[in-house]
Structure 1
Amino acid sequence: MSGQPEFVAEVDQNEYLPAGRRIVDAIVTVTASGADLRRNAGPLSAAQVIMIDTSGSMTMPQSKIQQAKRATAVAIDTLRDGVAFAVVAGSAHARMVYPPQPGMVPASPQTRAQAKAAVAGLRADGGTAIGAWLNLANHLFASQPAEVKHAILLTDGQNQHERPEDLQRVLDACEGRFICDSRGVGADWVADELRKVASTLLGTADGLEDPADLPAAFQAMTASAMGKSVADVALRVWSPAGATIRFVKQVFPQVEDLTGRRTEVSARIGDYPTGAWGAESRDYHVSVELEPQPVGEELLAARVSLVSAGQLLTERLVLARWTDDEELSTRINRQVAHYTGQAELAAAIQDGLKARDAGDVETATAKLGRAVQLATESGHTDTAKLLARVVDVVDAPTGTVRLKKQVAGVDAELTNVRSVKTIRVKKTQA
Structure 2
Amino acid sequence: MSGAPQFLVEVDHNEYLPAGGQVVDAILTVTASGPDLRDPANVPSAAQVIMIDTSGSMAMPATKLAEAKRATAVAIDTLREGVGFAVVSGTSIARMVYPPQPGMVPATAQTRAQAKAAVAGLRADGGTAIGRWLDLANWLFASYPAEVRHAILLTDGRNEHERPEELQRMLAVCEGRFVCDSRGIGTGWVAGELRAIAATLLGTADGLENPAELPAAFQAMTAAAMGKWVADVALRIWSPAGSTIRTVKQVFPHVQDLSGRRTAVSARIGDYPTGAWGAETREYHLSVALEPDTVGEEVLAARVSLVSAGQMLTQRLILARWTDDTALSTRISAQVAHYTGQAELAAAIQEGLRAREVGDIETATARLGRAVQLAAESGHDETAQLLGRVVDVVDAPTGTISLKRQVNAGDTELTDVRSIKTVRVRKEPG
- Structure 1 position 42, deviation (Å): 1.5
- Structure 1 position 424, deviation (Å): 0.4
Q: Secondary structure in 1 aligned to 2:3?
A: coil
Partner residue of 1:376?
376
Determine if contact 1:43/1:227 at 8 Å carries over to the other structure: no
Matches within 5 A, 1:197-212: 197-212=197-212
Matched, 1:107 2:107: yes
Determine if contact 1:54/1:125 at 8 Å carries over to the other structure: yes
Matches within 5 A, 1:321-360: 321-360=321-360
- Structure 1 position 348, deviation (Å): 0.3
Distance 1:308 1:174 in 2: 19
Q: Secondary structure in 2 aligned to 1:335?
A: helix
Q: Which letter maps to 1:202?
A: L
Determine if contact 2:5/2:35 at 8 Å carries over to the other structure: no
Structure 2 unaligned blocks of 5 or more: none
Matched, 1:391 2:369: no
Q: Which letter maps to 1:134?
A: L
Structure 1 outlier segments of 4+, above 4 Å: none
Q: Secondary structure in 1 aligned to 2:125?
A: coil
Q: Which letter maps to 2:375?
A: A
Matched, 1:23 2:3: no
Partner residue of 1:299?
299
Partner residue of 2:133?
133
Determine if contact 2:85/2:104 at 8 Å carries over to the other structure: yes
Distance 1:300 1:387 in 2: 42
Q: Which letter maps to 2:91?
A: S
Q: Secondary structure in 1 aligned to 2:419?
A: coil
Distance 1:108 1:36 in 2: 22
Q: Would the alpha carbon gap of residues 83 and 2 (structure 1) be closer, same or farther in structure 2, given more than 3 Å must change?
A: closer
- Structure 1 position 362, deviation (Å): 0.1
Partner residue of 1:420?
420
Matched, 1:281 2:273: no
**1:174-230, CA deviations, whole angstroms, 9 ceiling, x for partnerless residues?**
111111000001111100011111111000000001000000000000011111011
Q: Which letter maps to 1:119?
A: V
Matches within 5 A, 1:112-261: 112-261=112-261
Matched, 1:61 2:61: yes
Identity %: 77
Determine if contact 2:390/2:407 at 8 Å carries over to the other structure: yes
- Structure 1 position 357, deviation (Å): 0.4
- Structure 1 position 232, deviation (Å): 0.7
Q: Secondary structure in 1 aligned to 2:146?
A: coil
Q: Which letter maps to 1:95?
A: R
Q: Secondary structure in 2 aligned to 1:101?
A: coil
**1:57-80, CA deviations, whole angstroms, 9 ceiling, x for partnerless residues?**
101111000000000000000001
Distance 1:361 1:51 in 2: 38
Q: Which letter maps to 2:217?
A: A
Q: Which letter maps to 2:197?
A: V
Structure 2 length as normaliser, TM-score? 0.98
Q: Which letter maps to 1:199?
A: A
- Structure 1 position 24, deviation (Å): 0.3
- Structure 1 position 6, deviation (Å): 1.1
Distance 1:65 1:165 in 2: 28
- Structure 1 position 428, deviation (Å): 2.2
Distance 1:15 1:42 in 2: 39
Q: Would the alpha carbon gap of residues 379 and 2 (structure 1) be closer, same or farther in structure 2, given more than 3 Å must change?
A: farther
Distance 1:149 1:162 in 2: 26
- Structure 1 position 5, deviation (Å): 2.3
Alpha-carbon RMSD: 1.4
Q: Would the alpha carbon gap of residues 429 and 271 (structure 1) be closer, same or farther in structure 2, given more than 3 Å must change?
A: farther
Partner residue of 1:270?
270
Matched, 1:71 2:65: no
Q: Secondary structure in 1 aligned to 2:188?
A: coil
Distance 2:419 2:150 in 1: 23
Q: Secondary structure in 2 aligned to 1:157?
A: coil
- Structure 1 position 317, deviation (Å): 1.0
Determine if contact 1:255/1:343 at 8 Å carries over to the other structure: yes
Distance 1:253 1:218 in 2: 19
Partner residue of 1:403?
403
Distance 1:36 1:424 in 2: 27
